[in-house]
Amino acid sequence: MRLVCATHQNIESDIEVGKFRADLFYRINVFPIKLPALAERNVDIPQIINALKKGMKTLGENVTFPTFDESALQEFMRYPWPGNVRELRNVIERACLLFPGKKVEGKHVRDHLLRLRAPDPSEEQDALWAAAGDLKIDVLPDSKTEVEEAPLPHPSHYKDWFAYFDTIDLRRHLQEVEIVLIEAALEKRQGMVSQAADSLKLRRTTLIEKMKKLLIQKPIN
């Protein structure tokens, strides 16, 4: 028997507030795998689209899938995907209905496939497991080249935000990014605040103030 559990919740935080049993977590937490959000792995979108196309059987036998040219794929890859893979699946289904058997270009993606309200991200994370389950992924934890070449979010990615959405909670979004980066730096440096501050190019006192303000705890080794 092999038990695989998936969630988009922060289990450690749920344990602290009593929403999840600690003993159960430690029983199932044998080999944790964290899958990044779709926007963080946009280079995988062409592969995920192919996997989605092969797995879609709910639209009927007479539905013909469209083909996406390079400009369409580029449009998919620069979209922020707040709804993750479930949103991508919905867009592909929409393309099947609007452009059956036709060639889809970037302008079609912008004007007819993406200008709709995205799903709630809190309801969509689980779809990433289902869509990416059959993909072959080479894990190279010790490869320096792999880490250096991994795609990173860039401020320019937000340039086209308002082409797809009407609003953004800027204060909340920036705070969430700050929390993630601080926690990652602390984890990388085994909880050493001084070294984490160096990684973030902050003064030690500044980092401590931010940790207090954002209620960030040092990781327990």
DSSP-assigned states of every residue in 4-53? ----SS-HHHHHHTTSS-HHHHHHH-SS--PPPPGGGGGGGHHHHHHHHH
End-to-end CA distance of the chain: 30
Q: For position 47, what pLDDT does the model report?
A: 92
Residues 93 and 42 in one domain: yes
Inside any domain, residue 56 = yes
Residues 2 and 71 in one domain: no
Residues 6 and 78 in one domain: no
Q: For position 62, what pLDDT does the model report?
A: 67
Residues 117 and 66 in one domain: yes
Compute the Cα dihedral for 184, 189, 195, 199 and give only its sign.
Answer: negative
Residues 67 and 15 in one domain: no
Residues 68 and 102 in one domain: yes
Residues 74 and 7 in one domain: no
Inside any domain, residue 215 = no
Domain's final residue, options 110, 132, 154? 132
Q: What is the mean pLDDT of each run of 10 residues along the chain (221 residues)?
A: 83 86 89 84 91 72 82 90 88 88 90 65 50 50 43 67 78 85 90 91 90 84 62
Residues 3 and 66 in one domain: no
Inside any domain, residue 175 = no
Give the phi and the psi of residue 67 in degrees, each rounded to 5. -110, 140
Inside any domain, residue 160 = no
| Number of domains, the chain | 2
How far is Cα 184 from Cα 190, in angstroms, rounded to an integer?
10
What's the CATH code of the domain at 79?
1.10.8.60
Inside any domain, residue 66 = yes
Residues 47 and 121 in one domain: yes
Q: Which domain holds residue 89?
A: 38-132
How far is Cα 85 from Cα 65, in angstroms, rounded to an integer?
18
How far is Cα 84 from Cα 173, in angstroms, rounded to an integer?
16
Inside any domain, residue 218 = no
Q: Which residues pair with 103 in a beta bridge?
A: 67
Domain's final residue, options 132, 154, 189? 132
pTM more than 0.75: no
Residues whose CB is less than 8 angstroms from the CB of residue 11 and which lie 6 or more positions away in sequence, other chains included:
20, 25, 29
133 closest CA partner among 55, 67, 28: 55
Inside any domain, residue 24 = yes
Residues 73 and 5 in one domain: no
Residues 4 and 82 in one domain: no
Residues 68 and 117 in one domain: yes
Inside any domain, residue 116 = yes
Q: For position 198, what pLDDT does the model report?
A: 92
Domain's final residue, options 74, 103, 132? 132
